[in-house]
Amino acid sequence: MRETFSSPLLAPDTRLAHAGGTRSADGGVVPSIGVSTTFARDADYTLPTGVASYLRSGAANWRDVETLVAALEGGFDARLFSSGLAASTVLFQALAPGDHVVVPDVMYHGLRDWLRDFCARWGVAWATYRAGDIDSLSGAMEDGRTKLVWVETPANPTWEVTDIAAAADITHRAGAMCAVDSTVATPLLTRPLELGADFVVHSATKSLNGHSDVLAGLVVAARDSDTWRRVGELRTGGGAVAGPFESWLLLRGLRTLHLRVERACRNAAGLAAFLDSHPRVSKVLYPGLESHPGHAVAARQMKGGFGSMLSILVEGDAATAKRVAGATRVFVPATSLGGVESLVEHRATVEGPHSPVPPNLLRLSVGIEAVGDLVEDIDRALLAAYD
């Protein structure tokens, strides 16, 4: 069996293009999908080596994705989950009552809402820090009590950039673990484990899959640990696993990750530059712009692009912003991010009545279309919304 994708000598692009290698017994150049939920034992009632007895405990289609993403992140190992949220929440579920966690004030709202409920019910204390502000993070730590520090960079939906190396250093000095949601950066632009993080989390629903047709998530660990083993127990015990077909689709999406990320980053940079001087836009939030407060850190820790996500504050209120979103023809007015098709969303509506997001903010997930069409579309929608 050839497994070229796992050779550490190959560049990420090559590993991605060969994702899954030629694992198939029939020599097929893409892996087959193993749909069986249960696996036969030998005559002495032992399981063949490397085979799980039941699909909730292990699947070859998961391992294809996990091996590849662990290698791309430079990690010890990875675990695939049924969603990005399942991959995120498991790290908090691995804590004990009485533990203390530190999380940013800007983060994926689904996790923030879940945490509020979880921490109250499970007796986990939490403190917040200003996203991107290392002094604020330092001030939120409780020596000996803080067990987990959460970083999301760039942070959804205003794209604050947090210095991962500095955050990991502060975390470790307090005896805690640092986890980074690197969904927007992808393993190609930032490698948090090399900067000192203990865990990386991805919503694989986004750029890793890239085609808006799979819900999945990953945790990658820098090393083996009690927490890492607990993450495995919680996945099997809780059952938040990905199906074989979803895993296979994700692997297929990963084969073109490098091309999609490169193009989407270029498109986003072009759009950000255009919108930065647009008369109907009061502010562009994009780490690639020199005016962005996190630009210097982003330039250091993001290699090859600043991501495909940006937000704009339009002149006017929520109603104006929604009119702009509704007037686009190429951008699809929908939530989510990291797909090949560009999306525009009124984030405050999606996050609900308690959202801290400015009412005039539109979040743009930039895809791989011709940038001229994207520029023309958003320009026309912006001008039409004020007629």
Ligand X SMILES: Cc1ncc(COP(=O)(O)O)c(C=O)c1O
Q: Which residues bind ligand X (CB under 6 A)?
A: 83-85, 88, 108, 110, 152, 156, 181, 183, 203, 205, 215, 217, 337
Catalytic residue, chosen from 23, 64, 79, 108, is: 108
Measure the CA–CA gap between 344 and 381, rounded to whole angstroms. Answer: 11
Cβ 144 to ligand X shortest distance, Å: 29
Measure the CA–CA gap between 312 and 344, rounded to whole angstroms. Answer: 10
Q: Has 56 been annotated as catalytic? A: yes
Residue 79 · residue 200 · CB < 8 Å: no
Q: Has 329 been annotated as catalytic? A: no
Nearer to ligand X (CB atom), residue 155 or residue 382:
155
Q: Which residue is nearest to ligand X (CB)?
A: 84
Cβ 204 to ligand X shortest distance, Å: 7
Look-up: residue for tokens 């409780």?
Answer: 142
Nearer to ligand X (CB atom), residue 156 or residue 186:
156
Q: In what order do the strands lie in the sheet with 309-314?
A: 281-285, 309-314, 361-365, 343-346, 332-333
Nearer to ligand X (CB atom), residue 138 or residue 335:
335
β-sheet bridge partners, residue 343:
332, 365
Cβ 214 to ligand X shortest distance, Å: 9
Cβ 212 to ligand X shortest distance, Å: 11
Cβ 83 to ligand X shortest distance, Å: 3
Catalytic residue, chosen from 79, 191, 206, 255, is: 206
Cβ 46 to ligand X shortest distance, Å: 37
Nearer to ligand X (CB atom), residue 83 or residue 212:
83
Cβ 335 to ligand X shortest distance, Å: 7
Catalytic residue, chosen from 64, 99, 163, 181, is: 181
Nearer to ligand X (CB atom), residue 108 or residue 286:
108
Nearer to ligand X (CB atom), residue 219 or residue 222:
219
Q: Has 45 been annotated as catalytic? A: no
Catalytic residue, chosen from 56, 130, 145, 380, is: 56
Nearer to ligand X (CB atom), residue 154 or residue 359:
154
- CB-neighbour burial class of residue 143 (10 A; exposed 0-12, middle 13-18, buried 19+): exposed
Residue 276 · residue 282 · CB < 8 Å: no
Indicate which residues carry an active-site annotation.
56, 108, 181, 206
